[in-house]
Structure 1
Amino acid sequence: MKKILMSACFLGQKVRYDGRHSLIEHPLIKKWQEEGRLIPFCPEVAGGLPIPRAPAEIKNHHPVLVIDQNEKDVTPQFVTGAELAVERAKREGACCALLKSRSPSCGNREVYDGKFSGTVVPGAGVTAAELQRHGIPVFNEREIDQIEEFISNQL
């Protein structure tokens, strides 16, 4: 059975920076949960950041630099969380990941610009980029139907 690494906030876990969740109620997620396919994971918490925490954005992609709104460098926690996500995905046999869009960890197509201006720019979060680098495709909450298609094509 193909497993999916998934942002824990999507399953109602209050792990976001603001102490809230991003619960998604979608028939496919419910089905995957019932089948035991989901691997809930929050890379920021796994990397050692508290709940709640100051919002963070990627200031630089190469080399990666992640700062929070108080100008504190939180890069080590983001990198650790990304490495742990890859380790967990590989250990549990995840074929792909479903992660929170625009997150500095989980965004797969776009992230905020690093200036805390609310501006979105193309790019991937630290964890999404690391998963992709290890051959694990990353989808966001607007691409749930694409995951089903991806999994079907893997069989």
Structure 2
Amino acid sequence: MASRILVSACLMGHAVRYDGAAKPLLHPAIDRWRQEGRLVTICPEMSAGMPVPRPPAEIAAGRTGADVLAGKARVLEKTGGDVTIEFRRAAENALALARETNCRFALLIDGSPSCGSGFIYDGSFSGERFAGEGVTAALLSANGIEVYSDRQIEALIARLEDEDSGSR
């Protein structure tokens, strides 16, 4: 069977982002993977019971998702609320779903304190970003799931083509 892909719900057009918006990723590969039954959709934050809309959140003090998982950093809302527990639960839910549905790959929205894989924001709510992973991306990566950002869809396509040709 073709490899399955865990995908951020916002990339699939669901209005689940903190601001109540979606960020649909329009690409022929998405349509093909949907038709092939390869896509497994999740919004990690919503799976942990977080509302839409919700205050923007960032990992504090320029830390990363791995730091949150190690208990060395917190995820804070712009309003000051601590949502670290919710973000850890969100990551655990995404990993559980990936395992249940045999997803070996993930396609996640970049920049998110949950799903970011290429960059995240520095915790100052100033728009400053740096290379790093969000909490969900870090947990998936640490458990052997290959994580790609929405900006890396071409690399994911190539990776899947390599894998599919090798399994024939």
Q: Which among 70, 77, 82 is matched to residue 73 of structure 1? A: 82
Partner of 1:79, secondary structure, is helix
TM-score computed with the length of structure 2 as normaliser: 0.89
How far did residue 144 of structure 1 move? Answer: 0.6
Structure 2 Cα separation of the partners of residues 25 and 39 of structure 1: 16
Q: Deviations over 1:30-79 (max 9, x none)?
A: 10011111001000111111000000000144323100000100001100
Structure 2 Cα separation of the partners of residues 45 and 64 of structure 1: 21
- Of structures 1 and 2, the larger Rg is shown by 2
What are the ranges of 5 or more consecutive residues in structure 1 without an aligned counterpart?
A: none
Structure 2 Cα separation of the partners of residues 48 and 79 of structure 1: 12
How far did residue 153 of structure 1 move? Answer: 2.5
| CA RMSD, Structure 1 to Structure 2 (Å) | 0.9
Partner of 2:115: 106
Matched, 1:139 2:140: no
Structure 1 Cα separation of the partners of residues 73 and 100 of structure 2: 25
What are the ranges of 5 or more consecutive residues in structure 2 without an aligned counterpart?
A: none
After the TM superposition, which of the residue ranges 71-80 and 59-68 deviates more from structure 2? 59-68
Partner of 1:98, secondary structure, is strand
Structure 1 Cα separation of the partners of residues 12 and 39 of structure 2: 10
Mapping of residues 1-155 of structure 1, within 5 Å: 1-59=2-60, 60-61=63-64, 62=67, 63-154=72-163, 155=167
Please tell me whether the aligned partners of residues 57 and 75 of structure 2 are also in contact (alpha carbons under 8 angstroms): yes
Q: What is the one-letter code of the residue matched to 2:155?
A: Q
Structure number having the greater helix percentage: 2
Partner of 2:74, secondary structure, is strand
Structure 1 Cα separation of the partners of residues 13 and 148 of structure 2: 18
Equivalent residues, number: 155
Partner of 1:143, secondary structure, is helix
Please tell me whether the aligned partners of residues 55 and 77 of structure 2 are also in contact (alpha carbons under 8 angstroms): yes
How far did residue 90 of structure 1 move? Answer: 0.9
Structure 2 Cα separation of the partners of residues 28 and 152 of structure 1: 11
TM-score computed with the length of structure 1 as normaliser: 0.97
Please tell me whether the aligned partners of residues 45 and 90 of structure 2 are also in contact (alpha carbons under 8 angstroms): yes
